Amino acid sequence: MDYVVRGVAGQGSIRAFAVRTTQLVSQAAKIHGLYPVAAAALGRVLTAAGMMAVDMKNSSNVLSIVVKGTGPLGSIVSVAKADGTLKGYVDYPQTDLPLNEAGKLDVGSAVGREGKLTVIKDLGLKEPYVGQIDLVSGEIGEDIANYFWASEQQPSAVALGVLINPDLSVKAAGGYIIQPLPDADEEIINRIEKKIAEVPAISTLVEQGRTPEEILEILLGEFELKLLGKTSLKFKCDCNRERLERVVLGLGKEELEDIIQTEGEAELTCHYCNTKYHFSKEQLESLLAHA
């Protein structure tokens, strides 16, 4: 089961999140037919969104992350609710690149090292909160950390990782976020930084079978770690026919008439889950009557 845990350490002066996302990233990879570098990129964005969303107060709150770089992947989009449901897609899922100099998936080049990262928080108010920053590396983890600092003035250690098997299936996926609060002791921060540098990569920890609780214990156990909560995560799209009907109506009367006359039918595909919705000529005419 995929899930995220929240905790505090250093007598409440450090807050932290750790997550395992292997199953939901695997599901996303199967739904979209992702090549390895695309699976790694989308998986990292989904993992970050899952941790950030559970920090919102109400289960109906929605957090979206959009990464739009100059690389061949195009846009990467993830939408996460505070209740633990996520969905996402990448523009070009079959992007394929050689491994980087370190022999790892070259997510930075696939995303592009120039572009924008946008975080949208819909908290049920009149207008959503929107924060946007320039990409710093395209590796996602560094970019999320930069977002926290630039948009929320929150220093953060962010680790996101996805391992892919030789058969292109997802082997392991997960991440953590550690954030010192303003009253955090400088010595504790330095010791945590040293600990982060010493432990294996997050994808290795997940591959080894470490749970999110164990990952936080490894990183923060010596600083009076206290776990606060646990939220299950799953890849789930909330599309339905009624929603796609509104999309068809949004085309406008003239374009709808043109589709009926030239095509006689229409088929729409949900970006997030690839579900296809077919509209017959009679159904389109019925929608036209209500346009």
Take residue 265 and report the two structure tokens written for it.
């039918």
Asked whether residue 193 falls in the same domain as residue 252, the answer is: no
Secondary structure (3-state) at 204? helix
Asked whether residue 118 falls in the same domain as residue 230, the answer is: yes
Q: How far apart are CA 160 and CA 237, in angstroms?
A: 23
Task: Answer whether 272's CB lies under 8 Å from 49's CB.
Answer: no
Percentage of the chain modeled with pLDDT above 90: 79
Q: How far apart are CA 240 and CA 277, in angstroms?
A: 9
Point out the least confidently predicted range of 139-143, 144-148, 282-286.
282-286
Q: How far apart are CA 94 and CA 98, in angstroms?
A: 13
Asked whether residue 163 falls in the same domain as residue 26, the answer is: yes
Asked whether residue 20 falls in the same domain as residue 120, the answer is: yes
**Which whole number is the average pLDDT over 11-36?**
97
Task: Answer whether 77's CB lies under 8 Å from 62's CB.
Answer: no
Q: Which residue in the block uniquely carries the two structure tokens 């899922």?
A: 93
Single out the residue in 214, 235, 256 at which a domain terminates. Answer: 235
The burial class, CB within 10 Å (0-12 / 13-18 / 19+), for 111 is buried
Q: How many domains does the chain have?
A: 2
pLDDT number for residue 282: 87
**Which whole number is the average pLDDT over 81-85?**
94
Percentage of the chain modeled with pLDDT above 70: 100
Residue 247's CATH number: 3.90.1280.10
Single out the residue in 215, 235, 255 at which a domain terminates. Answer: 235
Task: Answer whether 20's CB lies under 8 Å from 174's CB.
Answer: yes
Asked whether residue 45 falls in the same domain as residue 26, the answer is: yes
Asked whether residue 245 falls in the same domain as residue 170, the answer is: no
Q: Which residue in the block uniquely carries the two structure tokens 């220093």?
A: 155
pLDDT band at 290 (very low <50, low <70, confident <90, very high): confident
Chain segment 37-61, per-residue pLDDT in tens: 999 999 999 999 999 999 988 878 9
pLDDT number for residue 285: 85
Antiparallel, parallel or unpaired: β 85-90 and 234-235: parallel
Single out the residue in 191, 212, 235 at which a domain terminates. Answer: 235
pLDDT number for residue 169: 94
Amino acid letter at 164? I
Q: At what angle do helices 186-198 and 212-220 cross, to 10 degrees?
A: 120
Asked whether residue 207 falls in the same domain as residue 269, the answer is: no
Neighbours of 97 (CB within 10 A): 18
Asked whether residue 146 falls in the same domain as residue 53, the answer is: yes
Asked whether residue 198 falls in the same domain as residue 268, the answer is: no
pLDDT number for residue 252: 82
Q: How far apart are CA 91 and CA 74, in angstroms?
A: 5
Point out the least confidently predicted range of 4-8, 105-109, 247-251.
247-251
Asked whether residue 249 falls in the same domain as residue 177, the answer is: no
Residue 52's CATH number: 3.55.30.10
Take residue 153 and report the two structure tokens written for it.
């003035």
* Closest to 160 in 3D by CA, of 104, 108, 119, 201: 201
Task: Answer whether 19's CB lies under 8 Å from 11's CB.
Answer: no
Asked whether residue 111 falls in the same domain as residue 15, the answer is: yes
Domain with 286, as residue range(s), is: 241-290
**Which whole number is the average pLDDT over 225-253?**
90
Asked whether residue 249 falls in the same domain as residue 219, the answer is: no
